[in-house]
């Protein structure tokens, strides 16, 4: 048994153990902590599988951002959380167990009876990689071959933000999200929030830029920028903007809008929606990615800031 | 050869500090002493691992990246442990 195999086996066992611990955790807070560590372990799994792009996304979104969202939710729920004392009846538990076993069996069957060789479009994607002038095959697929999916993803993100905002009561509509933390302006957090963002902004933009030829891209870069913005907001150095501000909304729709415009342009200049003229493929993709990064950073930051809780003008 | 020995020694020492930090985290009685154990793992453990890996890097840029990672982890670790310690202090703000 080689060292690499032992490492992979240990990682797999650890992922399974943390997953079952998270499912079994009774209180919300430990479950969230378990979920975050599970995400970090999954990141290592993706690295071991050679999917560094997915690993970056898992660390940034799956573990980091979702973890922060869930932590916020757990903190809000803490006051009203009833101790889990009502136990479901025997029949309900049996039915739930049977359902879970069925789903697990179906999933196992789906994996075990995959056709061999598995259906894949990877050779086709690799063959046409030169058409866009980008060196990273993942970015190629995301931005050119399956651009429609990526564009709709951004629209979904926007819809999620609208969903969060719609939780605001009527009189507060258009106001500022409340700062989630009251902190000492001379404290440690404020110090970190002054020190880290310059580094984080450079790293975020670097990851966006490197995404053309190496693992990285708009989503990962945008998440880092969002994290920097959140850090500054949490430290109380800046206020979250009122959700009715025009400039903010322009930033929020910039990504999907640029994507749509370029896509419609493809309809006019070329022969299909989202078809990039070959000579301009790379610059067009870069323009879309920059607009998307801005939108992603703003959307993710506001998702975490929550619904408006203070009236406008205060 | 000398570089190999150096790497093995430094990374092993780093691993020892991680182990000791984890044992401390599990065994120490209260939050502040646990934080003490944890920061040892972060600072010394990761520092020694980075030190051991430095001769393995191709160029000075790779070395700089490794050192930058160590410094960033130090910064994050120091800040978080300060925040946790303040929250844990009797009479401190609620967590």
pTM of the model: 0.84
At B76 the pLDDT is 87
Contact A191 B79 (CB under 8 A): yes
B73 within domain boundaries: yes
From chain B, pick out residues whose CB is under 8 angstroms from the CB of A192. Answer: 75-76, 79
At A314 the pLDDT is 47
Contacts of B49-56 with C-beta under 8 Å, sequence gap 24+, read B49/B10, B49/B11, B49/B14, B49/B15, B50/B14, B51/B10, B51/B14, B52/B6, B52/B7, B52/B8, B52/B9, B52/B10, B52/B11, B52/B13, B52/B14, B53/B7, B53/B11, B55/B3, B55/B6, B55/B7, B56/B3, B56/B7
Residue B56's domain comprises: 2-88
Mutation site for A-interface testing, chosen from B71, B75, B85 by largest number of A Cβ within 10 Å? B75
Could you write out the DSSP letters of every residue in A184-233? Answer: -TTSHHHHHHHHHHHHHHHHHHHHHHHTTTSS--HHHHHHHHHHHHHHHH
The beta strands (E) that lie in B38-86 are given as none
B69 within domain boundaries: yes
Work out the average pLDDT over A100-117.
90
B93 within domain boundaries: no
The DSSP H or E segment spanning A241 is: none
Contact B75 A191 (CB under 8 A): no
Q: Kindly report the number of other CB atoms within 10 A of residue A121's CB atom.
A: 10
B20 within domain boundaries: yes
- The structural domain count of chain B equals 1
Q: Is the pLDDT of residue A260 over 80?
A: yes
A189 vs B72, B75, B83: nearest CB: B83
Mutation site for A-interface testing, chosen from B11, B35, B79, B89 by largest number of A Cβ within 10 Å? B79
Which residue in chain B is spatially nearest to A193 when comparing CA positions? Answer: B79
B66 within domain boundaries: yes
Contact B79 A199 (CB under 8 A): no
Q: Is the pLDDT of residue A180 over 60?
A: no
Answer with the residue of higher pLDDT: B7 or A312: B7
> Per-residue pLDDT tens for B35-92?
888 887 878 889 999 999 988 888 888 899 899 999 999 888 888 888 888 888 776 5
Is this complex's ipTM strictly greater than 0.85? no
- Can you give the residue ranges of every domain in chain A? 1-76, 133-314
The beta strands (E) that lie in chain A are given as 176-177, 308-310
Q: Which residues pair with A308 in a beta bridge?
A: A177
A-B CB pairs within 8 A amount to: 13
């Amino acid at each position: 048994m080689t060292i690499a195999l032992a490492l992979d086996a240990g990682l797999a066992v650890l992922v399974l153990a943390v997953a079952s611990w998270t499912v079994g955790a009774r209180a919300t807070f430990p479950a969230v902590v378990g979920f975050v560590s599970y995400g970090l372990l999954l990141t290592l799994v993706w690295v071991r599988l050679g999917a560094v792009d997915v690993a970056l996304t898992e660390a940034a979104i799956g573990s980091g951002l979702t973890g922060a969202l869930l932590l916020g939710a757990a903190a809000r729920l803490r006051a009203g959380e009833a101790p889990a004392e009502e136990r479901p009846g025997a029949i309900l538990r049996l039915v739930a167990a049977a359902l879970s076993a069925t789903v697990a069996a179906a999933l196992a069957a789906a994996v075990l009876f995959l056709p061999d060789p598995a259906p894949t479009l990877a050779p086709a994607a690799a063959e046409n990689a030169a058409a866009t002038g980008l060196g990273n095959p993942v970015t190629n697929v995301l931005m050119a071959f399956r651009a429609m999916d990526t564009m709709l993803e951004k629209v979904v993100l926007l819809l999620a933000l609208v969903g969060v905002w719609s939780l605001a009561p009527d009189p507060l509509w258009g106001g500022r999200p409340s700062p989630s933390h009251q902190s000492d302006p001379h404290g440690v957090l404020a110090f970190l929030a002054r020190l880290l963002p310059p580094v984080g902004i450079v790293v975020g933009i670097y990851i966006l830029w490197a995404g053309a030829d190496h693992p990285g891209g708009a989503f990962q870069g945008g998440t880092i920028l969002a994290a920097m913005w959140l850090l500054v907001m949490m430290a109380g150095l800046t206020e979250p903007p009122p959700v009715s501000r025009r400039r903010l909304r322009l930033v929020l729709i910039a990504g999907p809008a640029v994507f749509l415009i370029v896509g419609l342009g493809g309809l006019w200049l070329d022969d299909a929606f989202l078809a990039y003229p070959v000579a301009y493929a790379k610059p067009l993709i870069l323009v879309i990615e920059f607009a998307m990064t801005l939108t992603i950073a703003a959307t993710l930051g506001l998702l975490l800031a929550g619904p408006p809780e203070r009236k406008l003008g205060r | 050869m000398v570089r190999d020995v150096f790497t093995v020694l430094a990374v092993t020492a780093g691993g020892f500090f991680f182990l000791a930090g984890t044992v401390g985290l599990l065994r120490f009685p209260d939050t502040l002493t646990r934080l003490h154990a944890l920061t040892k793992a972060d600072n010394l453990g990761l520092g020694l691992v980075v030190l051991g890996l430095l001769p393995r890097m191709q160029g000075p840029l790779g070395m700089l990246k490794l050192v930058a990672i160590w410094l960033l982890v130090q910064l994050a670790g120091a800040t978080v442990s300060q925040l946790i310690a303040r929250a844990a202090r009797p009479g401190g703000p609620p967590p």
